[in-house]
Amino acid sequence: MTKYPPRSEIVMQNPSSSHRKVVLVTGASSGIGEASARHLAAAGHHVVLGARRVDRLIQLVSELTEAGHDAEYAQLDVTDFESVKAFVEGALTRHGRVDVLVNNAGVMPLALMQDLRVDEWNQMIDVNLRGVLHGIAAVLPGMRERQSGHIINVASTAAHRADPTGVVYCATKFAVRAVSDGLRQETTDLRVTVVCPGLTRTELTHSGGDEQVQGAVRTALDAVGISPSAIAEAIGYAVAQPANVNVNEIIVQGTAQV
């Protein structure tokens, strides 16, 4: 069920400012999504946050509104197109437009292909790729009608290389990068950005996959991983550019990552 905080609980920041945008963020309950919500809200934008873990969204929206920012939430499952459409249509009903969509939701259960974790392969395809396509399909008609909008897809440095323990994960991120570049070339009205984070300290390695492989990645994260806030700032940079400037792709990784 979609739930929103009462309008009395939403604090408006710089509502008349021309730079203020309505920004939808998927996978906003933790990691890069949460960091992006905090960064964009602090920049004066109205953030609409979606994820499955509503309890975390409630807490995040409470923190943001108490700090004087403008935020709301809705339960969201990016693998379900009806859920994504409701998420977008709710924002359109309340605000009249969606200026930016940050397609961030993702999963990363790493393992060798020989382990034949087919259910996890399908999960990655459903969340990492189909979820991005659902988001695009939900916002694209309105953006094209307005001849204005910005779609930001979070991929990975895994969109530039294949690793033996992350073959399907890499495949989904390669696909997200291809979708982003192709969509960008379809129109001269909309902006499309793909953001490729390197090793980032999030919860991606905390569920699924081969425990030995995931443990090795967590060890690498401790050594060379960067904060989700670094990715959020890159997203904020792309959002802040003038309407006639498109940041095609941003790759962000720790200095120590090779």
Q: Got the DSSP string for 102-131? A: EE---------GGG--HHHHHHHIIIIIIH
Mean of all residue pLDDT scores within the chain: 93
Question: Is residue 145 situated within a structural domain?
Answer: yes
Question: Is residue 10 situated within a structural domain?
Answer: no
Asked if residues 32 and 154 have their Cβ atoms less than 8 Å apart, the reply is yes
Whether residue 13 has pLDDT greater than 50: no
Question: Is residue 144 situated within a structural domain?
Answer: yes
**Distance (Å, rounded) from C-alpha 87 to C-alpha 84?**
5
**What end-to-end distance do the CA atoms of the chain give, in Å?**
44
**Distance (Å, rounded) from C-alpha 125 to C-alpha 50?**
19
Residue 39, phi then psi, degrees to nearest 5 = -65, -45
How is residue 154 written in tokens? 């979070």
Residues 6+ apart with CB under 8 A from 73: 3, 4, 5, 28, 48, 49, 50, 51, 54, 57, 58, 60, 61
Residues assigned a catalytic role: 169
Residues 6+ apart with CB under 8 A from 157: 196, 197, 198, 251, 253, 257
Tally of CA atoms within 13 A in the half-sphere of 226 that contains its CB: 20
Whether residue 25 has pLDDT greater than 90: yes
**Distance (Å, rounded) from C-alpha 3 to C-alpha 54?**
9
Question: Is residue 3 situated within a structural domain?
Answer: no
Please state, in angstroms and as integers, the Cα–Cα distance from residue 150 to each residue in 8, 29, 235, 254, following that order.
28, 21, 11, 26
Whether residue 111 has pLDDT greater than 90: yes
Q: Mean pLDDT throughout 182-202?
A: 97
pLDDT of residue 258: 86
Q: What is the pLDDT of residues 61-99, one digit of tens each?
A: 999 999 999 999 999 999 999 999 999 999 999 999 999
Question: Is residue 5 situated within a structural domain?
Answer: no
Question: Is residue 243 situated within a structural domain?
Answer: yes
Per-residue confidence band for 190, with pLDDT thresholds at 50, 70 and 90: very high
Whether residue 58 has pLDDT greater than 50: yes
Q: 185: exposed, middle or buried (C-beta count within 10 Å: 0-12, 13-18, 19+)?
A: exposed
Question: Is residue 67 situated within a structural domain?
Answer: yes
Whether residue 1 has pLDDT greater than 50: no
Q: In what helix (H) or strand (E) does residue 167 lie, and over which residues does it extend?
A: helix 167-186
Whether residue 18 has pLDDT greater than 80: no
Whether residue 14 has pLDDT greater than 60: no
Question: Is residue 6 situated within a structural domain?
Answer: no
Q: What percent of the chain has pLDDT over 90?
A: 91
SS3 of 72, please?
strand
pLDDT of residue 101: 98
The type of residue at 192 is V
pTM of full prediction above 0.95: no
Closest CA to 58 of 129, 9, 96, 127: 9
Number of domain units in the chain: 1
In terms of residue numbers, what domain contains 97? 19-250
- Domain holding 118: CATH number? 3.40.50.720
Q: Which of the 8 DSSP states describes residue 148?
A: -
